[in-house]
Chain A
C-alpha cells in the first residue's frame, strides 16, 4: 500500500502552493501528480510519488552514497590483489 515510485518532473502548473500539480514521468509513463506537499519541487527534480501525491525530492548525493557504502562493504570482503 505504501508503494511509492520515483519519477521526474516534466512540467509544473498552478500558482497556489497547495494546489500546484506536475506532469511526472515514471520511466516514460506520464501522470499528473499533486505538488501540494512539495512547495520547493521544480522541473527536473526526481520525486517519490504515492497515490497521486509527491512526497519527497530524491537527494541524488544520498542516492549515490548508498551504492558507495555497499561497494565499501564488498571491498572489506575482497581486498584487492596486491601488485605483483
Chain B
C-alpha cells in the first residue's frame, strides 16, 4: 500500500535504531501522546528497538479511554429509549459505564448501531424520519471535522430527528496538564500527526517554550515513530526545545484551514472532565449557540454532571504516564479486554489493551529459583 509499506522496512528500522543509540548519551523519557502511536509501538516492537536509556510513556491520546463514566451512562440511558437509533464508533460499545455498557443495551433490545463515519448517522436520520437518531461524537481534533460536517449537513437538510452526544477533547490542554503535574516525568513529546494535520502546529509553540520540552510531530508507521524519537532525542541532547514537524507529508504548519473554520462554526471550546484525570479547563468542544438544537443531552434530559464512583482502575495514572499497565494489580487478571475495569483496557489504542495483546507473554513475573 503506497505511503504505508515503505515506512515499515525492518532493515531501515534497525539502522535508525542504531543511529539513535549512538546519539543517546543520557536517559530520556518521551511521551507519545496518541493512542494510535502507542498501538503501533507495541505492535511493531518499536520500544524493543530503543537503546536502554530511552523510555516511552504512553499518553492520554485515546478518546475512548478519556471519555468520563458519566457520559457513558448518559449514552446508555439515551440508547435504551425505544424511539432512539444510537450510532457510535465501535470502540465505545464495550466501555463500562456505572452499571452497563452500550453492548448490553444493544443485547437487551436497544437499537445501537456501529458506524464508520458520523456522516453515515446523518444518512440514517434522513432515511428514518420517524426515529430519533443520536450520534456519540467522541474524538480529538482529528475527528472534529467529520463530526462538524455531520452537524452542518444535518442542519442544512433540516433534520429535526438528529442529535449528538458530544464528548470531544483537545490535545494541547491535556499536554499542559501533564507537564504541570508535580509527578511529571515527560521530557519530550511525540505530537499526534493527525491532530496536527487538522489543527497545524502553531498552538504547540508556546508549550515548547514555556515548559522547555521538544515537541516532534510524528506519523504512525514504525519508521515515522523511530524518526520522531530520533529527532526528539537529538533536541534533548542538544538542549533545544522546539516544535519540529516529522510528518510533513500530511502536516502543514497552518493545518487545514477549511476544517478549522468548519469546526469553529459548529463547536466552541468548553471545560471537560477526562476519565481518571478530572476536569481540565478549556480542554473540550461543545456545540455553539447555532447548533444548540442538536444537543442530545438537552433533548433527552440527561444534562448535568454526576459523581464518579470509586474504582480499582488506575487508568488516570496510566493516561498521565505515571504508571505502566503491568504495574496495576488487576492487569490481566481482574481486568482483561473481555471484562475491562476501565477504558484503557477496552480500546485497541488504550495502553492496557495494547500491553495485554502484545506484551502479556513477557509480562509474567520472573520467578527466582
Q: Of the candidates B34, B249, B256, which one forms a contact with A2 in the assembled complex, judged by CB atoms under 8 Å apart?
A: B34
For chain B, give the interface size range: 35 or more
CB distance from A28 to the nearest CB of B (A): 9
Q: Does A84 contact B (CB under 8 A)?
A: no
| Inter-chain contact A70/B227, CB cutoff 8 Å | yes
Q: Does B91 contact A (CB under 8 A)?
A: yes
| Inter-chain contact A74/B142, CB cutoff 8 Å | no
Which chain A residue lies CB-closest to B4? A6
Which chain B residues have a beta carbon within 8 Å of chain A's beta carbons? 1-4, 6-7, 12, 15-16, 18-19, 22, 34-36, 61-64, 89, 91, 116-120, 138-140, 142-143, 145-147, 149, 152-153, 192, 194-195, 197-198, 220, 223-224, 227, 230, 246, 248-252, 256, 258-259, 262, 347, 349
For chain A, give the interface size range: 35 or more
Q: How far is the CA of A52 from the CA of B220 in the complex (A)?
A: 19
Q: How far is the CA of A52 from the CA of B35 in the complex (A)?
A: 20
CB distance from A63 to the nearest CB of B (A): 4
**29 examples of A-B residue contacts, CB within 8 angstroms:** A1-B138, A1-B142, A2-B35, A2-B143, A3-B36, A3-B349, A18-B262, A27-B1, A37-B256, A37-B259, A51-B116, A51-B117, A51-B118, A52-B118, A52-B119, A52-B120, A52-B146, A53-B149, A56-B251, A58-B3, A59-B248, A62-B248, A62-B249, A65-B248, A66-B227, A67-B6, A70-B227, A74-B12, A76-B19
A60 surroundings in chain B (CB, below 8 A): 249
Q: Of the candidates A1, A26, A59, A70, which one forms a contact with B12 in the assembled complex, judged by CB atoms under 8 Å apart?
A: A70
Q: How far is the CA of A11 from the CA of B18 in the complex (A)?
A: 44
CB distance from A66 to the nearest CB of B (A): 7
